[in-house]
Structure 1
């Protein structure tokens, strides 16, 4: 695997994940109590013996840079690295990244290294576990110039995905990005035998969707990006090159979720609280790595907790928590009820002088005050929630923008560093 460079795309503005992306990039959004989204592709790379990794960043990237710098270090003998390539003005280009392909194009010079034959292009905001070594071996076996990792999909999901057709050798012969027309979707339907040939059960799924994971021969990538000024792989580059390049599909049938919206982020986190989660954080053969914070174990006193994740360093006192994710350094007061919610925790423990100063200003402590009720919500980091606060979308509003909270996809979101005074009802 020494002849492969991995490129992780840091994503655009992340508008569909706003306000979680108000002060951070999509890959830096906290996940499962203690991780960040960027930890998923980086961990997949490291577990696949890929240790030459570039992360391309642009928007709100400070916290992402800090996390990567602190979390991932290689010794002097591994020849591995994780380097951040932030969008910057150069003699060749004065523009920001205009899309996924443009981001790679602007950094091609970094990939021209001795003994590098392949470039693996990954997204920084997807949740899945994959051994990329198998993908690369299949790419070499088929003699492909480009290989796209694909996953079986249901018809109802087609408008949100790039769908494709393959021939009997798994060569891609047609591609359509996010089709809305039913006739177009039907034209891409495959019979069960197409899945059976790859040891995949159709299970009612009739389509193949791109996962946004590409392996290119380096020379081919260089030629493709120089032949055109198109800016996006999925929408423009891939549909164009399948006509003249050997582009093959690699079948993947595990859990995969594109964390592109508040709803998908919320559901993916809560699914991990089940006894048999689709995405298993306890896999010792392929662990998820992150920044070691050296926090103490959580203190839980006289509380009832069911089907939930409790991260490190929490202080929970006489609370009731169900089907929820409680992030690092969460402080939860007495008689608090939390249900179907994500509490991201805090970046710090408040000092005594700071607590006294906040109380003088009538600002609640960081955490959740006594007797509060939270249901169906996402509480971002460092939020101050007072006593006797109720947070629940009782009116079933799909979307709302208020002064210190928002509703997206029926989910109440309290942005980072917000202050919710005591006795507030949301």
Structure 2
């Protein structure tokens, strides 16, 4: 694995995850009350003994850069690193990144200087645990030029992914990025050849790309240098390469979720609370997920009722009910609150207790969740101040709304309270 260089793509503007991406890049969005999405691919690399890692960023990258700098520092006796490569303007290239392939192309002068055999290209906003060693071994054993990691999927999600057809040897013979209508139907295949049962194959008749690729070094260099008009791997580079290069498919049979929308983000986080076995577990000792060490105190629960929930570090919960929810770092929940089917991201810092009491006396709202508040089916972003006797319950079952002036959005029926928002006492959403 010392002959492999990992490149993690920071993603675009993250419009489907807005307003969580208002102040941060997609990979910097909070996960499971403690981690960030970028921790998943970086941890997978470390656990796979791939220690040369670049992260390409462009949009709202300040918090992502800060997190990576604080979280990942390798021994000076190893050649390991996690380094951010931000979009930049140069005399040769005055434009910003135009797509995934263009982002890699603009830093090809740096990537090419490494004495490696393969480039492992990853996405920064997926939730999964994968041993890339098996992936790369399969790439080498088949003599492939490019290998794609794939999963079988059903009709509902098919049009959101790059779909492919493969031959009996696992070689990709046709690739179509996000097909619609008749083009989508033509991409149906018998996925039982991948080892699925007939019932599973009927439910999932498409083979989808996970957006995870291994390229032989020279193959990637040639493709990016020859096809200067092609800016995206999924839409252009991969489909146009299928005829001339040996592109292999590697079946991934574990849990994988593309956290590209508010609904997917909300569902994936709350799924972590499931018993007895969540679809993705952070409790796997031989493949831990790493993040920044914060040295926070343990959480304190004072006369609370908590069921099927995750409570992050450094929280103070007092005489409240928490059901099927994820509570993030440093979160304060006051008396007589009911938190249900909710994701509270917590806070970036503590408000001193004395300051908190001063806020109350001055009529200001302290950070956290005020007394008597009810929150259901909601994401509360960091540092939010929710007042007393507030009800965030989507009372009128609204599917979509944009009320930035009032501190919230509604996406797919899920209320999203903005970062640093102030929700006044008694407000009903």
What is the TM-score with the length of structure 1 in the denominator? 0.97
CA distance in 1, matches of 2:329, 2:62: 20
Over 3 Å off, 4+ runs: 200-203, 352-361
Q: Which residue of 2 aligns with 1:208?
A: 207
Please state whether the residue corresponding to 2:346 is helix, strand or coil. Answer: coil
Matches of residues 152-231 of structure 1 in structure 2 within 5 Å?
Answer: 152-181=152-181, 183-196=182-195, 202=201, 204-228=203-227, 229-231=229-231
CA distance in 2, matches of 1:13, 1:266: 19
User: Could you tell me how far 1:360 is from its partner in structure 2?
Assistant: 6.0
Q: Which residue of 2 aligns with 1:293?
A: 294
Q: Which residue of 1 aligns with 2:108?
A: 108
CA distance in 2, matches of 1:60, 1:34: 20
Q: Which residue of 2 aligns with 1:315?
A: 316
CA distance in 1, matches of 2:191, 2:15: 37
Q: Which residue of 2 aligns with 1:412?
A: 415
Q: Which residue of 2 aligns with 1:397?
A: 398
CA distance in 2, matches of 1:197, 1:321: 39
1:302–1:172 Cα change, 3 Å: same
Asked if residue 260 in structure 1 is aligned to residue 260 in structure 2, the reply is: yes
Q: Which residue of 2 aligns with 1:284?
A: 285
User: Could you tell me how far 1:361 is from its partner in structure 2?
Assistant: 5.4
Name stretches of at least 5 consecutive residues in structure 2 with no aligned partner: none
- After superposition, what is the alpha-carbon deviation per residue over 1:31-71, rounded to whole angstroms, capped at 9, x for unaligned? 00000000000000000000000000111100000000000
- After superposition, what is the alpha-carbon deviation per residue over 1:368-400, rounded to whole angstroms, capped at 9, x for unaligned? 001000000000000011110100112111111
User: Could you tell me how far 1:423 is from its partner in structure 2?
Assistant: 0.7
Q: Which residue of 1 aligns with 2:41?
A: 41
Q: Are the counterparts in 1 of residues 385 and 420 from structure 2 also a CA contact under 8 Å?
A: yes
CA distance in 2, matches of 1:329, 1:89: 39
Q: Which residue of 1 aligns with 2:347?
A: 346
- After superposition, what is the alpha-carbon deviation per residue over 1:184-217, rounded to whole angstroms, capped at 9, x for unaligned? 333222224421299x963732110000000001
CA distance in 2, matches of 1:351, 1:316: 16
User: Could you tell me how far 1:134 is from its partner in structure 2?
Assistant: 0.4
CA distance in 1, matches of 2:256, 2:323: 25
Please state whether the residue corresponding to 1:173 is helix, strand or coil. Answer: strand
Q: Are the counterparts in 2 of residues 149 and 210 from structure 1 also a CA contact under 8 Å?
A: yes
What is the TM-score with the length of structure 2 in the denominator? 0.96
Name the Cα RMSD after superposition. 1.7
1:103–1:3 Cα change, 3 Å: same
